Amino acid sequence: MKTVSLIAIFALGLTLHASAQKVIRPVPRFYPRSHVAVGIGLGGWGPYAPFYYSPWYAYPPGYYYHSRPSKLDLEIQDIQTDYKDRIWSVRHDESLTRKERRKQVHALKIERDREILQAKKDYYNSRRR
């Protein structure tokens, strides 16, 4: 009986000792796999009925449609990049005090917004004629 209990205690101690060791696991690798899902559909019923059998079911209509930007969009983008550069230059100008830099940045932002608004007015007024 002593031998059986001694073996059981030894086995328990060995198990606990092994389970307390640090486990080094390899980096998990992910391999692309195709997944197949089988379900029961409602046919043509429900709020999303037109999209049930669409090849682009996961994406809303118009998701893949990209149109060319208009002249107004390009002009606004030019104005914004120009003023972004000017604001960056003023913010990194060490010859000005912090208060003067903030004032000039604020003035440039107001000027940028006015110029964008004027570009929009000019664009839509020229289209009416």
Q: For residues 113 and 5, what is the distance between their CA atoms, to the nearest angstrom?
A: 86
- Cβ–Cβ < 8 Å for 75, 119: yes
Q: For residues 94 and 85, what is the distance between their CA atoms, to the nearest angstrom?
A: 16
Q: What is the pLDDT of residues 77-102, one digit of tens each?
A: 999 999 999 999 999 999 999 999 99
pLDDT at 20: 63
pLDDT at 71: 92
Q: For residues 124 and 129, what is the distance between their CA atoms, to the nearest angstrom?
A: 9
Q: What is the pLDDT of residues 61-83, one digit of tens each?
A: 666 666 788 899 999 999 999 99
Confidence band, pLDDT 50/70/90 cuts, at residue 128 = confident
The residue ranking higher by pLDDT, 27 or 55, is 27
pTM of the model: 0.49
Best mean pLDDT range from 31-35, 43-47, 55-59, 84-88: 84-88
DSSP string of 2-17? HHHHHHHHHHHHHHHH
Is the pLDDT confidence value at 47 over 60? no
Percent of residues, the chain, with pLDDT higher than 70:
64
- Cβ–Cβ < 8 Å for 101, 91: yes
Residues 6+ positions from 43 with CB-CB distance below 8 Å: 52
Q: For residues 122 and 118, what is the distance between their CA atoms, to the nearest angstrom?
A: 6
The residue ranking higher by pLDDT, 51 or 98, is 98
DSSP string of 49-73? GGGTT-TTTTS-TTTT--PPPPHHH
Go through the chain and tell me how many residues it has: 129
The residue ranking higher by pLDDT, 105 or 63, is 105
Q: For residues 15 and 73, what is the distance between their CA atoms, to the nearest angstrom?
A: 70
